[in-house]
Structure formats: structure tokens, C-alpha cells
Structure 1
Amino acid sequence: MSLKATLQDEQKAAMRAKDKFRLGTLRMLLAAVKQVEIDERITLDDDQILSIIVKQVKQRKDAAEQFTAAERQDLADKELAEIEILEAFLPQALSEQEVASLIEAAIAQTGAAGMQDMGKVMGILKPQVQGRADMGAISAAVRSKLA
């Protein structure tokens, strides 16, 4: 079953359970998916939907940090609860050892020798780690290996 169908089924389950918070979060996610589909006039596959979920999680993390800095813990808690709901649809996160081995393999595969080859390495890594690891941390790790 596709990820979009799973999201729609979860939305129906939240409606039946009268879980308003979960329902609102799922509706927001499905609206973001629908918006991209309408804007680009395409039907999204699972990888594209995963990238939307990752983007939504990142936005909520940023918002939670800002709310915490503004001493609005109630709003930060709401954002963190939404993150938990969204992360349930992401694949299993990679461990640090798995990330390190993927980076080593990508560097070996591209024959990268320095910072000028970082784009090649990241191009290979991005589809492998999409939604399973923080791309900022991956980028920093690749940069330190190539420096």
C-alpha cells in the first residue's frame, strides 16, 4: 500500500477515534501533499511524500525552538507532539555506524579526493538516507571526511 493511502487510512482512523489533534496533524500533512500535487500537476510517489514529511518535521522543530526561546512552552509542546505523529510515517532512522559506512561507501564509489567532490558524494547519499537521517549532519560528516 502506498504511503498516501496509509496516511488517508490513518486520517479515517483518527476521525473514528475522535482524536482531534492527530486528525488535524494528518490533515495538515495531506494538504501539503495535495498542494504539491496540484502545483506541479503530478501524482507524488512515496519518496516525494517522504521528503514532504521530512520538511514538515523540520519546520516543526524550528518552530518548537523558537517557541521555547520565546518562553511559550505550551506552543512548543504542541509542535513536538506533531513531530511525534509525523515521525511515525518516516522509515527507521539510521544508526551512526550505518551512516558512517554509507558515507565511506559513497566516497569510495565516487573516488572523491577533496571538497570539490562533495556534490558527487551527497548526490549518491541523498536517496539512500532520505527521511532516515538528518541531511545537515550527513553533510557535516562528509565535509569532515573530505577536508
Structure 2
Amino acid sequence: MSLSKQIDKDYIEAYKAKATVKVAVLRHLKTAIKNRMVEDKCQDLSDEIVLDLVAKQVKQRKDSFDQYTKAGRDDLARVEADELVALEVYLPKQLSDEELSAAIDKAIADVGAASMADMGKVMQAVLEAHKGQVDGKKASGLVRAKLS
């Protein structure tokens, strides 16, 4: 079953179960998918594109969570955290710190990176090789540390 169809199925189940947080999250995600389909003028999206849309939604929730936490709005931060949990179900398993470090070392060797000027090439290689499995901020920090 494609990821898009799984999201539709889960939305219906959440709606019937009256799981308001999950319904809201999946409604936003379905809207993003529908908008992308209209934009691309197609009937169905590949799992890779849907995964990118899910990753963008997760990133938005993380950023909002951080901002609400810094502003002392724990009530709103809790809502974002709940939505984040509902979305992360659709992402592939994240790489551990050791796996991420090994992937970065491999990318540095493959690209032949020697300085910070090559950071973009290394990041691109890591993110493409492990789509949806890497937190960009964490990877960026590790790449920066290894190249400097």
C-alpha cells in the first residue's frame, strides 16, 4: 500500500475513533499532498514525494515546538509535541548517532571533502543517501565538527 493511501486509511480510522489531534495532523498532511498533486498536475504522488511532505511537516512542528518552549507557552508546545508524535509514525526509522557519524564519514570520503567549503556537498550526499532518516540540524553540526 502506498504511503498516500495509508495516510487516507489512517485518517478515516482516526476520524471514526474521534482522535482529534491525529485527525487534525492528517488533515493538514492530506491537504499538503493534494496541493502538491495539483501543483504537479498528477493523479498520484510517489512515496518519496509524500515522505518529503511528511518530513517538512515534522520540521515545522519541531520549529514551532522550540519557539513555543522558548516563549514559555507550554500549552502550545504540548500540542505541537502531540502532533509531532502523530506525524513521526510515517517517517522511516531515524539513524542513531553512531550510524549518522559513519554515514557522514563515508560521505566525506566519497566526496573527497577536505574543508568547510565542501560542507554542502557532504550534506547533500548524506541527506540523499538517507532520505527521511536524518535530522538536518544534527547532521549539519556533525559535518561542521568533522570538517573543521
Shared fold by TM > 0.5? yes
Letter in 1 for 2:130: V
Which residue of structure 1 lines up, in the alignment, with residue 94 of structure 2?
93
Alignment pair present for 1:123 and 2:124: yes
Which residue of structure 2 lines up, in the alignment, with residue 26 of structure 1?
26
Which residue of structure 1 lines up, in the alignment, with residue 4 of structure 2?
4
Deviation per CA, 1:13-72: give whole Å up to 9, x if none. Answer: 112222222112111111112112212324432222222112111211222233233333
Task: Please state how far the C-alpha of 1:127 moved relative to its aligned partner.
Answer: 1.6
Which residue of structure 2 lines up, in the alignment, with residue 58 of structure 1?
59
In structure 2, C-alpha distance between the alignment counterparts of 1:20 and 1:120, rounded to whole Å: 42
Question: What stretches of structure 2 of length at least 5 have no aligned partner?
Answer: none
- Please give the secondary structure, in 2, of the residue aligned with 1:126: helix
In structure 1, C-alpha distance between the alignment counterparts of 2:21 and 2:118, rounded to whole Å: 45
Task: Please state how far the C-alpha of 1:140 moved relative to its aligned partner.
Answer: 1.8
Letter in 1 for 2:20: K
Letter in 1 for 2:83: E
- Please give the secondary structure, in 2, of the residue aligned with 1:33: helix
- Please give the secondary structure, in 2, of the residue aligned with 1:133: coil
Question: What stretches of structure 1 of length at least 5 have no aligned partner?
Answer: none
Identity of aligned pairs, percent?
40
Q: How does 1:37-116 map to 2 (within 5 A)?
A: 37-42=37-42, 43-116=44-117
Moved over 6 A (4+): none
In structure 2, C-alpha distance between the alignment counterparts of 1:115 and 1:71, rounded to whole Å: 36
Q: CA RMSD in A?
A: 1.6
Contact 2:21 2:82 in 1 (8 A): no
In structure 2, C-alpha distance between the alignment counterparts of 1:38 and 1:3, rounded to whole Å: 18
